[in-house]
Each structure stands twice: as structure tokens, then as C-alpha cells.
Structure 1
Amino acid sequence: MPEGHTLHRLARLHKRRYAGAPVGVSSPQGRFAREASILDGQVMVSAEAYGKHLFHDYGPLGTVHIHLGLYGTFAEQRLPEAEPVGQVRLRLAGATHWTDLRGPNRCELLTPPEVAAIVDRLGPDPLRRDADPDRAWRRISRSRTSIAALLMDQSVLAGVGNVYRAEVLFRHGIAPTVPGRALDETVWKDIWADLVGLMRAGVRTGRIDTVADEHLPEVTGRAPRVDRHGGEVYVYRRTGQPCLVCGTPVAHADLAGRNLYWCPVCQST
């Protein structure tokens, strides 16, 4: 599932390409056809992201809420338009580009109260300047749940996924099983600041890089990481491989149906 930086990149891209002008809106697949007919030819006011949710705002006509889930993808192309390929739920067409959305978990036209209800269920998003990290801390500091699970709970913290979760815990030497209430507030503030920096870098580059300069392949002589997610990381999807810091094999376990990665030595507290 895409992490928050991906949705913020998409929001910036769609705002730049489509906002402020009439947009062609269609649903070749047909599952969004009624809503598309309302929006077709209308002006997109803005596009923004909150956590893993993308919102296309059409003013009084409503807001398109998109959640990609596990299988949703956007395809971005320059004009002229081509015939749809596959199950295209939503197509946008602007002055220079067209965009196809396939396989989202949610694609729906919502009223302002319905949008507010979604946002109200989410924790603070490190990529939003209106985020309040203290709101997340109040949940974390009272919880017996492991910090690894809390970081993935979108009602606690919005936009953090499996990669950022694994990497930020490694970078701060925190065992994933530590209960939230056992975390020191100073450590939480450091984690939050690190997430803000890492995720902003992800928005800029389109990939997740978490490795310090001294551990990069060109410095250590190791082979660069090859993975469809891209980026240089410490523990994510590196099960059994040596930790880049201490050499201990990276551990793996299942936590609430998601893969968990950590270094048993570097993350011993």
C-alpha cells in the first residue's frame, strides 16, 4: 500500500496539472459514471492529501475521495488521450495531461461533512503543516500496545506505512515490541521530527531513503538495494541480511497481519 509521501506527491501533481481549470472527468469502467457526469467539465478547485487519502475538491459539487488501498494505481500521461486499457475507474483530462485511476479501494464523491468525518478519524499527518504531534503522543503515552503497531494505526498517526515504521524505529534504536506508554516523550518528539524529515524527502524524490551517508553503498562498497519500492533502507525487506550497522541478521515477524523488520542488537531497548 502506498505510504503518505506518495499521496502528497500525487496531490501536488494533480493540483499543478488540473486545479483552477475545467477538467474532463469520466469513468470508462462505469463504476464512477454517475459522479463523473456531475463533475465533467467543471473546475477542480484544489487537490490535497491527508495521510493515505487523496482529495480532489470541486467546490460546491463535492470532493472526490480516493484511497488506493493495496491495488490502486494512477497512470499519468501527456495528451493526446488514448483508449482506456483495463478497468479504469476514473479518468481526468486537462490541458496538457490525462490521468487514469485503476483498482482503488475507494473512489467516491463526498459532501464536506463526509470529508470532515474521514479526516476526523485520522491522526496527525507528519507531512501537513497543521499537524499536532501532541495529539498522537496523548494516544501513544497511554497505550499498552506496541509502538510498532501504534505507528501503523492511522487513527494515531496518518500516512506512516510499513517502510517508514520499520526504518524510524531502527534509526532511533527502539525495539518494535516496546509499549507506547513506555516510550519517553523526548524520544517521541525525535521520532516525529525524523518522520517529518524523511517523509518530506520522500515527497521530493518519490522514494524512501533512510540510510545515513556513512552507510550508503558507495561508501561501504556493498551492492545497491534492488527492490520495487526503491530507496536505501536499514531493515525493511532485509530479512536475514546483515544489519548495515552491526552485522547482525535482520529479524522478521508478523504483527497484526503486516511484516515487521528489525535488528535484534541495534534495537534492543
Structure 2
Amino acid sequence: MPEGHTLRRLALDLTAAFGGEVVAVSSPQGRFAADAAELDRTELLGADSAGKHLFIEFAGERFVHIHLGLIGKLDVRRGPAPPPVGQVRLRLATPTAYADLRGATRCDLVDASRKAAVVAQLGPDPLRPDADPDKAWARIRLSERSIGDLLMDQAVLAGVGNVYRAEVLFRHRIDPQRPGRSLRRSQWQAMWDDLVELMAEGVRNNRIDTVRPEHTPEAMGRPPRVDDHGGEVYVYRRANQPCLVCGTTVRTQDLKGRNLFWCPHCQPKYRSRAVL
């Protein structure tokens, strides 16, 4: 599933391609046809993201609310639009650019109040300047759930997915199974600050890179990572491979239906200091 940096990059690309333009809106597949007809030949004001949700704003406080889900894809291209290929639910087009949406979990036309309601259900998004990390901390500090689980809960923290979850925990040497309530405030703030920087870099580069300069392929004299997710990472999808820092075999297991990755040496098992 695309993580928050992908949606923010899409919002920027959509705004650059269509912002302020009168746009042809259609639904070649037909599932969005009625709403597309309402928006057709109206002004697209811009796009924004909140966590893994994308909102494309049209004149009249109308928003196309998109959630890509596991297989959704939104391609933004320059040039005249060719005939649609495949199941294109939504097409935006001008003489100089087009965008095609396929496979999304959600594509709805909503008003400003519904958009606000969706955003209100989300935790703080590290990519938004108005985000308040204390909102997430208020839930984490009282929770018996593992921090690995909490970081993936979009109501706690918006936009973080499996890659950023695994990598930020590794970078801060935190056991993914550690209860949220056991973290110190300073540990959470350090992780939040790190996510702000890492995810902003993900937006700029359109890929996730999390390794520090001393662990890049060039610095270590190792081959670059070959993976369809791209980017250099410490533990994500590196199960049974040596940790780039200590050489210990990276481990994986299922956590709430998603694969968890960690290094048992760099992220030692948390043991409560409570007297039993």
C-alpha cells in the first residue's frame, strides 16, 4: 500500500499539472460516471493529502476523495491524453496533461464537511505543517499495544506504512513489540522528528531511503539494493539477510496481518523493569 509520501507527491504533481485549469473529467470505466459528469469542464483548484488520503479540489468546495488501497495507482502524465487503457475509473485531462486512476479502494465526490470529517479521524501526519505529535503521543503513552502496531494505526499516526514503520523503529533501536506505554516522551519525539525528515525526503525523491551516509552502498562497498520498492533500507524486506550495522540476521514475523522486520541485536527485546 502506498505510504504518505506517495500521496503527498501525487498532490504536488496534480496541482502542478492541473491547478487553476478547467479540466475534462471522465470515467472511462463507468463507476465514477455521474460524479465525473458533474465535475467535467470545471476548474480544478489543487490537490492535498492527509495520511494515505488524497483530495482533489474543484470549484464550489467539491473534492474527489481517493484512497489507493493495496493496488490502486494514479498516473500523472504530460502531453495529450491517449485513449484509455484498462479499468480507468477517473481521468483528468487538459490539452497538456492527463491523469488516470485505476484500482483505487475509494473514489468519491465529497463536500468540505465530509472531507473535514475524514481528516478528523486521522492521527497527525508528519508531512503536514499543522500536525501535532502530542496528539499521537496522548494515545501511545497509555496503550498496551505494541509500538509496531500503533505506528500502523492511521487513527494514531497518519501516512506511516510498513516501510517507514520498520525503518524508524530500527533507526531508534526500539523493539517493535515494545508496549506503547513503555516509551519515553523523548523517544517518541525523536521518532517523530525522524519521520518528518525521512518522509519529506521521500516526497522529494519519490522513493524511500532510510540508511545513514555511513551505510550507503558507496560507503560500505556493497551492491545497491534491488527491489521493486526502490531505495536503501535497513530491515524492510531484508529478512534472512545480514543487518547492515551489526551483521545479525534480520528477522520477520506477522503482526496484525502485515510483515514486521527487525534486527534482534540492534533492537533488543524490551524487558519491563517492573518487579513481578
Which TM-score applies when normalising by structure 2? 0.96
Deviation at residue 21 of structure 1 after TM alignment: 1.5
- The range that moved more, 108-117 or 170-179, is 108-117
Deviation of 1:62 (Å):
1.3
Q: Which residue does the alignment assign to 1:96?
A: 96
* Deviation by residue 1:193-221 (Cα, 9 ceiling, x = unmatched): 00000000000000100001111111111
Secondary structure of the structure 2 residue equivalent to 1:82: coil
Stretches of structure 2 lacking an aligned partner (at least 5 in a row): 271-276
73-82 vs 62-71, greater mean Cα deviation: 73-82
How far 1:107 sits from its partner (Å)? 0.3
More displaced 10-residue stretch of structure 1: 137-146 or 78-87: 78-87
Matched residue, 2:72: 72
Identity %: 61
Which amino acid counterpart does residue 200 of structure 2 have in structure 1?
A: R
Contact in 1 for aligned 2:13/2:76 (Cα 8 Å): no
Correspondence for 1:246: 246
Aligned to 1:152, the other structure's residue is in SS state coil
Using the TM superposition, give the Cα deviation of residue 100 of structure 1 relative to its aligned residue in structure 2, in angstroms: 0.5
Q: Which amino acid aligns with 1:254?
A: D
- Distance in 2 of aligned mates of 1:9 and 1:125: 14
Alignment root-mean-square deviation, CA: 0.8
Indicate conservation of the 8 Å contact 1:38/1:61, yes or no.
no
* Post-superposition CA distance 1:22-49 (Å, at most 9, x none): 0110000000000000000100112100
Counterparts of 1:22-33 in structure 2, within 5 Å, are 22-33=22-33
Query: Could you tell me how far apart the structure 1 residues matched to 2:36 and 2:202 are?
Result: 31
* Aligned equivalent of 1:131: 131
Unaligned runs of 5+ in 1: none
**Pairing of 1:35-184 with structure 2 (within 5 A):** 35-60=35-60, 62-184=62-184
Work out whether residues 39 and 61 of structure 1, in 8 Å CA contact, stay in contact via their aligned partners in 2.
no
Q: CA–CA distance in 2 between the matches of 1:46 and 1:220? A: 43
Distance 1:5 1:150 in 2: 19
Deviations along 1:57-110, one digit per CA (max 9) or x if unpaired, are 113251100000001001222222211100000000024111100010000000
Q: Secondary structure at the match of 2:101?
A: strand
Q: Which residue of 2 aligns with 1:231?
A: 231
Aligned partner of 1:189 in structure 2 is: 189
Alignment coverage as a number of residue pairs: 269
Rounded to whole Å, the distance in 1 between the matches of 2:61 and 2:196 is 33
Deviation by residue 1:131-190 (Cα, 9 ceiling, x = unmatched): 000000000001000000000000000000000000000000000000000000000000
Q: Counterpart of 1:247 in structure 2: which amino acid?
A: G
The equivalent of 2:274 in structure 1 is none
